Amino acid sequence: MENCMHVFQVSGIKTRDKKKVLVQIIQQLGGKYIGGSVYQHSSTHLIIPQVLSSEKFLAACAAGKWVVTPQYVLDSFKNGSWLSEGPYEIAITTGVSSSVYPARQWREKVSSGRVTGAFQGWRVLLMVREPSRRAMFKRLLKAGRAKVYHCPLPPHASVTHVMAKPVTEDSKSHNAPCYPVSHIVQHLFGSNCVDMKFNITNDVSAETTQDGFVDVDFSKLETELRDYIIRQDARPRLCLLEFLGYHDPHRPQPQGTETDFSNVGSMIECGLFTEALDSIKSAIFPGLLPPASYLVSLLEYAQQGNATSVFLRNFQQVMYNLLVTNPPWLPPSTVKKYLAQVLQCPRCKMGLWPFLETAISYCLSSDATCHPLPGPALPTLLHFHSDLLAFFLKLFQGELHSVTSGDFVPHESTGVSQASATGSLLYGTFWTVWERSTLLSRAVKQLIQLLVQAVSEDYAEREEVQKLHLAETLLDLLSVLVEFWCQQHFKLNQNLVEKGLKDLAEHFAVTSQDVSPEVLAELVVRICSTRLKLMIADAIFRSLCCRSGITVGDEPLSLKKMVLSYMPALENLAQRPSGACLRTKPTPHSRTSQGTRCSPQSSLVNENVPRGLNRVNAAEETLLHRACKRTQVKTVLQILSLPGTDVNVKDHAGWTPLHEACNHGSTACVEALLRHHPAPVLNNQVGGVSPLHDAVLNGHMDIAKMLLEHAGSAILQQNDGGERNALDLLSTSQREELLHSARLGDSTLRNDCSEALNLPLLEAGSSLLAHIIFSYQQERGLTGHSQPSDESHSPGLLLLRALGTHSHQTVTLGWTNQRAARLVEDAETLLELGRGSYLGQMSLAVRECKGENTLFLMEILEDLRSRGKGCTSG
């Protein structure tokens, strides 16, 4: 019964360690704490340092709850039980000896049973435009037992008050008195409102602290971040400026005169192919197209292997001139049909993709062509088909540019852009009508297979200068078609785009498993689409980890995952024996290209999931937090065995499971946490208290020694809020014990990780991880969000304000947009990097590696840390 009588909320206390102390005392005395940024009717007490213009304070007054100072909790702790609340009730001093108790009158009326709330009997029509403000006023009125309606009124409903913000003629037209929302305060406090200097007539949803800080409206922040993400997705990734000079759709172009091509037909019939080609070359103008059958005949002659190199170059020049003077993405729309007729095998006539596939296969010296071609591969034909691939790439780049710039030809009857329907040659080449909702179509899979084959052959057979020449062309082609497909779908279904990119990247990683990591890392560098580079680099890195027996979680990619999961995985890759072979089969926690688990052991993992794993209490403590506090070692081991477990998860005050284990003397739990991979961060501090400080302050010397033997003397450099390190809190003999443990830890770290055993694998992994981080920042716009701007209400500044006093779990509570929530977590991770967290425990093998890629990765991480530090100080 005691628990039900003391249910607390807190408002206006922004220091995390002070709030943590209050919460711990409340729980020790048998009370209950409710977190959150809004008033909860189940609370019985509100703790505030002084009178606030906050929702919680006004609602508590309206509901007749106790509103007391923090001293009530502290003195009750000294007493060993709950004291009487009266002496601690919040007050405002109005003179030398007189005080006003703003909450008292309604508390006394409610406790005596005279009323159930300050707004009893009110039937309010609430007319507030802004949704979050409307929700706040509704909670406030309902706390005082008012009945609240919204427009339009239900049938037969009558109201006693109309509350409006702003007051308009429409709000005055209802059959009830109309008041501004400031009337709520006037009703609660009467004439005392003026003496108390309540400045909330315009806005009572923001909670003002002593330093003037105003809490961010979290729901509004979610909306702004969502809009920002949509703008990020809409921006073009490939800037193809050369297409700007092809044709100005707003200026008439000179049209070619009527040309008689009959003599060209006669030349072709007589076998005068060179002369026919010269005639066509001199007669190409905007609006003038030679008969498609003539070009088809010339193409067939070119493929037979008898044409001279001059003829083949001239044929390519004719095709480029056609593209420049008659772009298929501009009127007339007949140009697309014309090119579709020309750009196919002149003998098989099966469409664009088989023709493109044949050109690639011939360049790879493969027999997998639509019909047998002259072989062995002739040098002149190799160059011809290579130039054909370059032409296809230019054509598709032009279509992508036209979609990005909005210059695509509209449908003649409806005016709807063909780019979003069936009008593009690129769509028709890589997707059938039934495949357009998936990025990974049959033709795209075949292109990836050919790309991987090109990569392997380029490195195996060609000179250094020619490496990746064909692969680069195919990679550019893949980037263009990915960007084109994403442009078509991101506005309709962002989740579809994310899934399509993930499926393609994982298919690429599986297909390229036989290619060496060094070659794949170099290939990733050459990808021109940042979103494609991000997804493929991530898929290849995870594939390397899986084949090395290293587990990284399946959770969505985030900055936190990179520093807490990918960095330790990179260190493990560096310690693999130099001659060790990577597994070719996925490990139990890897995924296939369809995203399904590939091991029957997954069902066993699910059976071992402890109950309440995902349940977070009012203090935002996870099951891992609670198990460490209670020394429930079996539960801790169960949780740590699950893939993707975050050992550094924080509660509302910032405490990690390692903090709790060190604080409560859970030696076995600390040992289990330190053995987990990735290992927990040991330099996390809350109010200057690190896990080592927690252990020392509570007399757990065995745990302090364990931490030092694990991390070495580096963690002895951390100071608490009073500029004392852990040694300053101990006697001389105890200091010597800890210094000895620190020396043991330093020696172990030097011996274990002083040198990379597999430098090529470390270099490949470093290159992949560096491009993952760099591309992730570009894709998510993390740079723009993490730094303050000049605009006081910009999303970036609001985000920094929110994270200055709240954890990302608190900020994103109730959010439905997961990408916006991940952006908040990214910003929090960046701030933590700026405070020195996460990177301090990086192994010596990685930090002192002189490889070019690893040094580049270290520069990127240092840049992240510097920007995070700049955000923290700003």
What pLDDT digit, counting tens, does each position of 321-351 carry?
A: 888 888 888 777 788 888 889 898 888 888 8
Residue 203 has pLDDT above 50, yes or no: no
Residue 769: pLDDT band (50, 70, 90) is: very high
In tens, the pLDDT along 820-838 reads 888 888 888 888 887 777 7
Q: What is the pLDDT of residue 122?
A: 92
149 bridge partner residues: 125
Mean per-residue pLDDT, 614-622:
82
In a domain, 816, yes or no: no
CB atoms within 10 A of CB 10: 23
Domain final residue, candidates 112, 145, 174: 112
- Chain position carrying tokens 């990808």: 527
Residues, the chain: 874
Quote the pLDDT of residue 211. Answer: 33
CATH code for the domain of 19:
3.40.50.10190
Q: How far is CA 617 from the centre of its chain?
A: 26
- Please report, for the domain that includes residue 723, its CATH number: 1.25.40.20
Q: Please name which of 433, 430, 429 lies closest in space to residue 421, comparing C-alpha atoms.
A: 433
Long-range own/partner contacts, residues 754-757 (CB < 8 A, 24 or more apart): 754/844, 754/845, 754/848, 755/845, 756/574, 756/575, 756/845, 756/846, 756/849, 757/574, 757/575, 757/576, 757/577, 757/578
Q: What is the count of structural domains for the chain? A: 2
Name the domain boundary from 112, 127, 143: 112
Report yes or no: 8 and 34 within 8 Å, Cβ to Cβ: yes
Question: Looking at the domain assignment, is residue 131 inside a domain?
Answer: no
Which of the given ranges, 216-225, 520-529, 555-564, has the highest pLDDT on average?
520-529
Would residue 319 count as lying in a domain? no
DSSP letter at 493 equals -
User: In this model, does residue 45 exceed pLDDT 90?
Assistant: yes
pLDDT of residue 257: 53
Q: Say which amino acid occupies 186.
A: Q
Better pLDDT: 315 or 602: 315
Tally Cβ neighbours within 10 Å of residue 774.
Answer: 18
Tell me, letter by letter, the H, E, C secondary structure of 288-335: ECCCHHHHHHHHHHHHCCCCCHHHHHHHHHHHHHHHHHCCCCCCCCHH
Average pLDDT over residues 89-105: 73
**Concatenated DSSP letters of 1-18:** -HHHH-EEEE-S---HHH
157 within a domain of the structure (yes/no): no
> CA dist 133 to 164, 165, 205, 507, Å?
11, 9, 6, 47
Q: Are 94 and 84 in contact (CB under 8 A)?
A: no
Average pLDDT over residues 239-263: 55
More confident residue, 203 or 106: 106
In this prediction, residue 417 has a pLDDT band, given cuts at 50, 70 and 90, of very low
Asked, for residue 446, whether it belongs to a domain, the answer is no
Over the stretch 78-87, which tens digit does the pLDDT of each residue have? 888 999 998 8
- What is the bridge-based pairing of β-strands 92-93 and 99-100? antiparallel
Amino acid at position 704, single letter: A
542: which 2 tokens? 């995870």
623 within some domain = yes
Express each pLDDT in 717-735 by its tens digit: 777 655 677 887 778 778 8
- pLDDT for 813 beyond 60: yes
Provide the percentage of residues in the chain whose pLDDT is more than 90.
22
Render pLDDT for 579-591 as a digit per residue (tens, 0 to 9). Answer: 555 554 433 333 3
DSSP-derived secondary structure letter, 713: G
pLDDT digits over 139-174, tens only? 899 999 999 988 877 777 788 998 888 777 777 777
Cβ contact 468:458 at 8 Å: yes
Tell me what pLDDT residue 408 has.
47
Question: Is residue 408 in some structural domain?
Answer: no
Residue 427 lies in a domain: no
- CA torsion angle for 642, 646, 650, 655 (degrees, to 10)? 80
Question: What pLDDT, on a 0 to 100 scale, did the predictor assign at position 458?
Answer: 64
Show the beta-strand stretches assigned E in 766-812.
none
Query: Cβ contacts of residue 174 below 8 Å, gap of 6+?
Result: 125, 153, 159, 162
Place of tokens 């609006």: 287
| Banded pLDDT at 619 (limits 50, 70, 90) | confident
Which domain, by its residues, includes 26?
A: 2-112
Compute the average pLDDT of residues 235-252.
56
Strands across the sheet containing 45-47: 32-33, 7-10, 45-47, 66-68
pLDDT of residue 537: 94
Q: Which tens digits make up the pLDDT trace of 263-275?
A: 888 888 888 988 8
Contact 425, 338 (CB under 8 A): no
Q: State the average pLDDT for the chain.
A: 79
Question: Helices (H), strands (E): how many in the chain?
Answer: 40, 10
pLDDT at 829: 83
pLDDT in tens, 433-482: 888 889 999 999 999 999 999 888 766 555 444 444 888 899 999 999 99
Domain final residue, candidates 717, 733, 749: 733
